[in-house]
Homo-oligomer: A and B are copies of this chain.
């Protein structure tokens, strides 16, 4: 299985480490021999049709901050050239999410699909902006589009709802899908002001470079779009989400909630409407998790409400979700 990886940040590098450390196990358990043939980062690209040397790749990245110098010959290919010209089976799209034009991820994904590559995206941008049309494009080109890592990091929330609950009908769901804002609200509950809590979260590296993605609920809304499409078969995109972030939540709001044995969390919910907003929830609700944890409660017709809690981010965690998608694609292909 020949893989092109676009985006070589924390998640991309974690994937490479996993491909290295898990290679024997992946072959023994799943008959899978993933081979990384191309890597694209913001500085350039590296390629080797017979498989990149993963140790060398990590060294070059560490030394030069880009993989460009991996190949000795002058490599003037852009990332898109690589996707268009290099023979491969799967594109793993891991460039940063943005919700304006979703580039370069959007073009990477559509180009790859048009060339017959299956796609695994951990980039939420393209899915948030164009989920329904990307799924159509995948179907049209007879390729698979997977995106386990976009919601819940390493916690397989999408798979649980789609597969473990097969045969059930999910009527609604609600979740805490952004760890950063949950960390801030948890600290406000403990007495910090919004600005103190934001400062603390920044110091720990929890906040996106563009803080609006967390604070204004864009990240949570993108995940809600993906869940609504995948699980509820709704054909929606970002503009369909009613969205309010946490900037106006005050410590006195939280104190007032505490008097009712409740607190305030940024909740993404799908019931009649698709909404991301700060909401009061009971401290006894299993959904009420603290710190950077994520949680989601599915309400199903016959099995009541079920809650999944886990870490919602992290390089290795998200890398492990890419491995799951690779296994999934491998198994789907072998059925053909």
Contact = CB atoms under 8 A, between A and B. Distances in A.
A305 B321 CA distance: 14
A302 interface: yes
User: What secondary structure prevails in chain A residues at the interface with B?
Assistant: mixed
A159 B164 contact: yes
A166 to B, nearest CB: 6
Nearest to A26: B167
A324 B154 contact: no
Nearest to A303: B154
A69 to B, nearest CB: 30
State the copy count for this chain: 2
Given A303-B310, A311-B303, A166 B327 contact: yes
A109 interface: no
A167 B286 contact: no
A309 B290 contact: no
A284 to B, nearest CB: 7
A1 interface: no
Given A304-B154, A304-B311, A327 B160 contact: no
A177 B180 CA distance: 32
A316 interface: yes
Q: A-B pairs with the 9 shortest C-beta distances?
A: A154-B303, A302-B320, A306-B310, A156-B164, A307-B309, A159-B164, A286-B309, A304-B311, A167-B324
Interface of A: 18, 25-26, 30, 153-156, 159-160, 163-169, 284, 286, 289-290, 293, 295, 300-311, 314, 316-317, 319-321, 323-324, 327-328, 335
Given A286-B295, A304-B314, 17 more contacts: A25-B169, A30-B167, A154-B168, A154-B300, A154-B302, A155-B303, A156-B160, A160-B160, A160-B164, A166-B324, A166-B328, A286-B289, A303-B310, A305-B310, A306-B308, A306-B309, A308-B309
